[in-house]
């Protein structure tokens, strides 16, 4: 099938899906919204909005403490959400799922807790050249605090991360490998299964930043055998304010708490306190109670459609968009690794990404322009910024056409 051929849409209920996301029907600046920024944050289906509202309307109270009906209900639902996440990513135990605020907090938790306790001066932490700042900066704290050495796996010209480059950096000093599953800027899918295996061969632990992966591809942490896996609810069509850290039970048990407070203790005295068992040890303070229910609803929704079907739909959009964009003179796509996810970063040789996004906005087309919290990667490709269009489960081919039309507007305005 050529990429321009239209696939059989009876296989993918795009109209029904679009109808499930109320915001998609709301015009912006008097135009139909064309939302191509799901990589930054995804829109929410009714099911998620309703799940959160239902918690507040019917079964809300603080969890893990009240000896009364509503608190018991809220606690049960919160823990049920944890099990939904556990099944979704294939963790062996529900208590290996730690609820955090977002991917950033999940990574910070590992760097601060595991890193401070187990990494020593001279130990090496490997990250890739395409990481989001949130998978760079937490490790830099350890460089300053503990004399840990941060090493960077280079990115190839097409935006891929090659195993041979990675393998060269691995050695007896490597203690932690922290890499993205999928690049937020380029859409590159990293060969994490092999990377995890090679890291374990030298005795290193592995953290995968899955912020961009869980909504695009099937993830099974037990099969991957990663030590930590981090992601956010809001990019998975769920609420903001809740994220997930998966960690292997033995590691989480060995790690000290990340924050102190209520819910994470067994006993407290002014002489000494002791910690609650997993997962509470890492969930100090009142968590995102309603958001946990929303996250579970998002997972149910995604699984109802089917992650493989979503991936196939997005790949069709990516192929179509890539073909259309490659026909535009003066446009360069940054990141052309084989098998990438539905993210397209591009530059125009006659307009700055910020101006592109501004003109797009006037057409109702929402994209991201900037460095995408990946300044080292921008430097690698010698661009100050890119324009980025990303596709989610609710996007359709006509929106790619709108994207192309918007680029033509920019062309008309800025190209001499």
Partner 1 sequence: MSDDLRDLYQEVILDHGRHPRNRRMVEHANHLAHGENPLCGDKLTVFVKLNDQGVIEDVSFEGQGCAISTASASLMTEVMIGKTEAEAEKLFGSFHALATGAEREEAEGMEDELDRLEVLAGVRDYPVRVKCATLAWHTLQAALHDEGKVSTE
Query: Which residues participate in catalysis according to the annotation?
Result: 373
What is the token pair recorded at 344?
Answer: 């397209």
Minimum CB distance to partner 1 smaller for 47 or for 137:
137
Q: According to the binding rule CB under 8 A, does residue 413 interact with partner 1?
A: yes
| Helix or strand (DSSP H, E) at 294 | helix 289-305
**Residues 404, 328: contact at Cβ < 8 Å?**
yes
Segment near partner 1 (CB under 8 A), from 49-57, 155-163, 319-327, 365-373? 365-373
Q: According to the binding rule CB under 8 A, does residue 355 interact with partner 1?
A: yes
Minimum CB distance to partner 1 smaller for 254 or for 413:
413
The distance of Cα 281 from the centroid of its chain, to the nearest Å, equals: 24
Minimum CB distance to partner 1 smaller for 112 or for 374:
374
Measured between alpha carbons, how far is 134 from 373 in angstroms, rounded to an integer? 8
Minimum CB distance to partner 1 smaller for 78 or for 360:
360
**Residues 122, 173: contact at Cβ < 8 Å?**
yes
Q: According to the binding rule CB under 8 A, does residue 359 interact with partner 1?
A: yes
Residues in binding contact with partner 1, number by CB under 8 A:
22
Beta carbon of residue 354, minimum distance to partner 1 (angstroms, whole number): 4
Alpha helices in 133-279 (DSSP H): 137-146, 163-169, 192-201, 221-224, 249-254
Minimum CB distance to partner 1 smaller for 182 or for 369:
369
Q: According to the binding rule CB under 8 A, does residue 416 interact with partner 1?
A: yes
Minimum CB distance to partner 1 smaller for 65 or for 415:
415
Q: According to the binding rule CB under 8 A, does residue 408 interact with partner 1?
A: no
Q: According to the binding rule CB under 8 A, does residue 351 interact with partner 1?
A: yes
Q: Is the peptide bond before 279 cis (omega within 30 degrees of 0)?
A: yes
**Paired residues of 388 in beta bridges:** 345, 368
Among 175, 315, 371, 380, binds partner 1 (CB under 8 A): 371
Measured between alpha carbons, how far is 247 from 10 in angstroms, rounded to an integer? 39
Measured between alpha carbons, how far is 126 from 195 in angstroms, rounded to an integer? 11
Among 303, 323, 326, 358, binds partner 1 (CB under 8 A): 358
Among 369, 389, 400, 407, binds partner 1 (CB under 8 A): 369
Q: According to the binding rule CB under 8 A, does residue 385 interact with partner 1?
A: yes
Long-range contacts: 349-356, Cβ < 8 Å, 24+? Answer: 350/411, 350/414, 350/415, 350/416, 351/410, 351/413, 351/414, 351/415, 352/384, 352/385, 353/385, 353/386, 353/387, 354/385, 355/410, 355/414, 356/387, 356/407, 356/410
DSSP line for 177-218: EEEESB-TTT-PBP-HHHHHHHHHHTT-EEEEE-TTTTTTS-
Q: According to the binding rule CB under 8 A, does residue 243 interact with partner 1?
A: no
Q: According to the binding rule CB under 8 A, does residue 409 interact with partner 1?
A: yes
Sites for partner 1 among residues 27-66 (CB under 8 A): 29-30
Beta carbon of residue 139, minimum distance to partner 1 (angstroms, whole number): 20
Q: According to the binding rule CB under 8 A, does residue 414 interact with partner 1?
A: yes
Beta carbon of residue 41, minimum distance to partner 1 (angstroms, whole number): 17
Sites for partner 1 among residues 11-30 (CB under 8 A): 29-30
| Helix or strand (DSSP H, E) at 9 | none
Beta carbon of residue 352, minimum distance to partner 1 (angstroms, whole number): 4
Q: Are strands 124-128 and 149-153 parallel, antiparallel or unpaired?
A: parallel
Residue length of the chain: 416
Beta carbon of residue 405, minimum distance to partner 1 (angstroms, whole number): 12
Segment near partner 1 (CB under 8 A), from 152-160, 188-196, 296-304, 376-384? 376-384
Minimum CB distance to partner 1 smaller for 191 or for 370:
370
Among 109, 106, 146, 105, smallest CA distance to 125 is for: 146
Among 404, 354, 388, smallest CA distance to 37 is for: 388
Segment near partner 1 (CB under 8 A), from 98-106, 117-125, 225-233, 371-379? 371-379
Among 370, 401, 404, 411, binds partner 1 (CB under 8 A): 370
Among 44, 22, 81, 48, smallest CA distance to 393 is for: 44
Q: According to the binding rule CB under 8 A, does residue 140 interact with partner 1?
A: no
Measured between alpha carbons, how far is 392 from 169 in angstroms, rounded to an integer? 35
Q: Which residues bind partner 1 (CB under 8 A)?
A: 29-30, 351-355, 358-359, 362, 369-371, 375, 378, 383-385, 409, 413-414, 416
């Amino acid at each position: 099938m050529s990429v321009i051929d239209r696939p059989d849409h009876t296989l993918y209920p795009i109209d029904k899906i679009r109808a499930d996301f109320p915001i998609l029907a709301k015009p912006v600046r008097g135009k139909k919204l064309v939302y191509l920024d799901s990589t930054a944050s995804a829109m929410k289906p009714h099911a998620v909005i309703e799940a959160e509202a239902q918690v507040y309307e019917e079964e809300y109270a603080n969890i893990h403490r009240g000896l009364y009906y509503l608190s018991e209900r809220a606690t049960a639902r919160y823990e049920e959400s944890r099990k939904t996440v556990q099944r979704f990513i294939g963790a062996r135990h529900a208590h290996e799922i730690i609820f955090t605020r977002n991917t950033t907090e999940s990574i910070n938790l590992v760097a601060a807790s595991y890193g401070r306790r187990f990494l020593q001066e001279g130990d090496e932490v490997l990250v890739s050249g395409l990481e989001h700042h949130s998978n760079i900066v937490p490790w830099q704290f350890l460089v300053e605090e503990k004399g840990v050495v941060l090493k960077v796996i280079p990115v190839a010209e097409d935006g891929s991360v090659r195993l041979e480059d990675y393998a060269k950096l691995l050695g007896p000093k490597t203690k932690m490998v922290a890499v993205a599953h999928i690049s937020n800027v380029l859409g590159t899918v990293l060969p994490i299964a092999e990377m995890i295996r090679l890291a374990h061969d030298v005795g290193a632990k592995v953290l995968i930043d899955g912020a961009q992966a869980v909504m695009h591809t099937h993830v099974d942490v037990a099969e991957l055998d990663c030590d930590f896996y981090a992601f956010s609810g809001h990019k998975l069509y769920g609420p903001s304010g809740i994220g997930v850290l998966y960690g292997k039970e033995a590691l989480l048990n060995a790690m000290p708490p990340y924050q102190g407070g209520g819910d994470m203790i067994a006993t407290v005295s002014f002489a000494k306190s002791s910690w609650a068992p997993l997962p509470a040890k890492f969930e100090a303070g009142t968590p995102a109670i309603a958001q946990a229910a929303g996250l579970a609803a998002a997972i149910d929704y995604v699984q109802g459609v089917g992650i493989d079907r979503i991936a196939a739909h997005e790949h069709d959009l990516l192929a179509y968009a890539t073909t259309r964009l490659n026909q535009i003179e003066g446009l360069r796509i940054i990141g052309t690794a084989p098998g990438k996810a539905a993210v397209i970063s591009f530059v125009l040789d006659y307009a700055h990404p910020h101006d592109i996004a501004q003109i797009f906005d006037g057409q109702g087309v929402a994209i991201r322009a900037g460095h995408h919290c990946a300044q080292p990667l921008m430097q690698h490709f010698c661009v100050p910024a890119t324009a980025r269009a990303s596709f989610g489960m609710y996007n359709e081919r006509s929106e790619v056409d709108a994207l192309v039309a918007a680029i033509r507007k920019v062309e008309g305005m800025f190209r001499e």
